[in-house]
Amino acid sequence: MAVHRIAVIGGDGIGPEVIDQAIRAAEVAARKHDGADLQWAKLPWSTAYYKQHGRMLPEDGWDQLKAYEAILFGAVGDPSVPDKITVHELLLPMRRKYDQYVNLRPAYLFAGVPCPLAGKKPGEIDMLVYRENTEGEYAPVGGNLYPGTENQIAVQTGVFTWKGCERILRAAFEAARKRPRKKLTSITKSNAQVYGLGLWDDVFHAVRKDYTDVDSGSLLVDAAAMDFVRKPESFDVVVASNLFGDILTDLSAAVTGSIGLASSANINPTKKFPSMFEPVHGSAPDIAGKGIANPLAAVLSAALMLDHLGLAQSAAAVRAAVAHVLATGAVRTPDLGGSATTTQMGDAVVAALA
Ligand code: ATP
Ligand code: MG
């Protein structure tokens, strides 16, 4: 039996609660559909760990993680500790240290989930957003002149490299090629940000020559935002810079229902370093410990992990089980208008898998 070793960082708040359900579903699916054994190493890195040790992870934590094929991540963040520590010591460095340059965020309208847009049929909204995850507008490059005075000047620089643009564009084109619609939209704003996004566009035009089987085009980010609401069904694979991808995926999550359903992957496609899979939502301190968080975003993130591990049948089975539970509608957490607990929702997914 093939064995896959996975590090689990449940983190804070609802993180560990939803991750427990994701583990159950992934384990059952992997064994049944791909004959694979998943081995989990639970790491206690969290705000509680920070309060005890003065750091979010041990000194050799980054080396420890390299021993795993993947990292399943809940959420970090607690009202008693600034984000500057929780997020900036654990979550953000991971993307750069492990060169997880693809941030994949699917948006899918499931049957049984109320859509804020009128007249949309289940499955009609079905897109994969590929967000650049290591450079662009989020590069920590800049500075301040005359801080704290009325003359303060802040400079924030976007960093775009040919290599950085090319690898995210190629990853997105490869994904588009494997999908039935074979369509790709590159998001840009090169009419205003002429250097950085000008380079993005140049690379897009160079790369698309290798993918003439894909129906590709580009769209300005403001027009794209409008179309995400007006006609989200027109998108298949979308590829965007760090900032634009971040904003557009909140929009795509909103038009497909609940934050409790939005999954994501931070992928190092070379597999030189582990990739990390996490629900889009945070630690939700307002509902933590109550056992009512929707675990499906975490479960669907685990499905992305199964895809990355090469367990495609298991991944498909998990998604089908989630779709079945949502369509049946008997078991729903409060965010979906029901009164089921996190564990009951996990039970329903496991039952659907069996
Ligand atoms: P972060 O800063 O870590 O992104 P946040 O405080 O911005 O976190 P969330 O923690 O995602 O945001 O919470 C936003 C809102 O969504 C909260 O009201 C929370 O209860 C709700 N929420 C988040 N995740 C879930 C979930 N899985 N199930 C139900 N409700 C959720
Ligand atoms: Mg927050």
Cα distance between residue 104 and residue 264, in whole Å: 6
Cα distance between residue 234 and residue 124, in whole Å: 9
Residue of 281, 283, 292, 331 with the most ligand 1 atoms within 8 Å of its CB, for mutation: 281
Say what the alpha-carbon torsion angle 209, 244, 103, 61 is, to the nearest 10 degrees.
130
- The DSSP result for 220-263, as a single string, is EHHHHHHHHHH-GGG-SEEEE-HHHHHHHHHHHHHHTS-GGG-E
Hey, do 1-100+263-354 and 126-255 end up sharing a CATH topology, with the first three levels equal?
A: yes
Query: What's residue 87's pLDDT?
Result: 84
Q: Is the CB of 283 under 6 A from ligand 1?
A: yes
Give the ligand with the smallest distance to the CA of 75.
1
User: Can you give the length of the chain in residues?
Assistant: 354
Query: What's residue 264's pLDDT?
Result: 97
Whole-number Å distance, alpha carbon 42 to ligand 1 midpoint, is: 23
Q: Do residues 70 and 277 lie in contact, with contact meaning Cβ atoms separated by under 8 Å?
A: yes
In single-letter form, the type of residue at position 16 comes to P
Q: Which atom of ligand 1 is nearest to the CA of 295?
A: 27
Q: Please name the residue ranges forming H helices in the chain.
A: 15-34, 47-53, 61-65, 83-86, 92-97, 162-177, 196-207, 221-230, 242-255, 296-308, 312-328, 342-353
Nearest alpha-carbon partner for 318 in 294, 330, 301: 301
Query: What's residue 314's pLDDT?
Result: 98
Residue ranges covered by each domain of the chain: 1-100+263-354, 126-255
Query: What's residue 91's pLDDT?
Result: 87
Query: What's residue 282's pLDDT?
Result: 94
Domain 126-255, CATH number (from 1.10.645.10, 1.10.10.410, 3.40.50.2000, 3.40.718.10): 3.40.718.10
Q: Is residue 285 classed exposed, middle or buried when 0-12, 13-18 and 19+ CB atoms within 10 A define those classes?
A: middle
Centre a 10 Å sphere on the Cβ of residue 184 and count the other Cβ atoms it contains. 27
Query: What's residue 259's pLDDT?
Result: 86
Q: Catalytic residue positions?
A: 138, 189, 222, 246, 250
H/E stretch holding 71: strand 70-75
Cα distance between residue 128 and residue 113, in whole Å: 19
Q: Do residues 244 and 187 lie in contact, with contact meaning Cβ atoms separated by under 8 Å?
A: yes
Atom 4 of ligand 1: nearest residue by CA position: 282
Residues (pLDDT < 70) of the chain are none
Q: Do residues 22 and 301 lie in contact, with contact meaning Cβ atoms separated by under 8 Å?
A: yes
Centre a 10 Å sphere on the Cβ of residue 243 and count the other Cβ atoms it contains. 16
Superfamily of domain 1-100+263-354: Isopropylmalate Dehydrogenase (3.40.718.10)
64-107 per-position pLDDT tens digit: 999 999 999 999 999 999 988 988 899 888 998 999 999 999 99
Whole-number Å distance, alpha carbon 14 to ligand 2 midpoint, is: 13
